[in-house]
Amino acid sequence: MDSGAIRRRLALGLAVLTASGLLAVASPGHAEADDFCSGRKVRTLSFSAGSVRIYKRDGFVCAVTVAKSTSGRKSMSVSVQARGSRPVTDSGRYLHVAGPVVVHAGHRCVWIRGSVGSSSVSSGWMMC
């Protein structure tokens, strides 16, 4: 791959991450996960206090944690790690949705984690 192609891919990845960050800042507290991630939903990881919804499009993986309860702010997090890379995480005190977190995985496996309060889910390596 020549340096021009690498620069274009890096620029595309940066543009996607910037756009997802702007969506997270500008969105209302009760927006649904489908409002944050583009692509097709490939899986939902459910746990006692919520779920992590996972989407994929053109080698990018997007994930959000959605709490079952919308009453009050609670500690929430979502994390996506492509094999061979560091995890990208969004955590804080949210009303309903943590994320989105977007990573370029290409054809690599990913590990997804999500939590609401003390309840959590971890996928193990998936989408290989």
Provide the residue range defining the domain that includes 52. Answer: 3-126
Give residue 90's identity as a one-letter amino acid code: D
Does residue 16 have a pLDDT over 80? no
DSSP class of residue 42?
A: E
pLDDT tens-place string over residues 60-111 = 999 999 999 989 999 999 999 999 999 999 999 999 999 999 999 999 999 9
- Smallest CA-to-CA distance from 45 within 127, 107, 128 is with 127
Give the residue-averaged pLDDT of 20-29.
Answer: 47
pLDDT of residue 4: 67
Q: How far apart are alpha carbons 120 and 55 in whole angstroms?
A: 19
Count of beta carbons in the 10 Å neighbourhood of residue 6: 10
In the chain, how many domains are there?
A: 1
Task: Give the CATH number of the domain where residue 20 resides.
Answer: 2.60.40
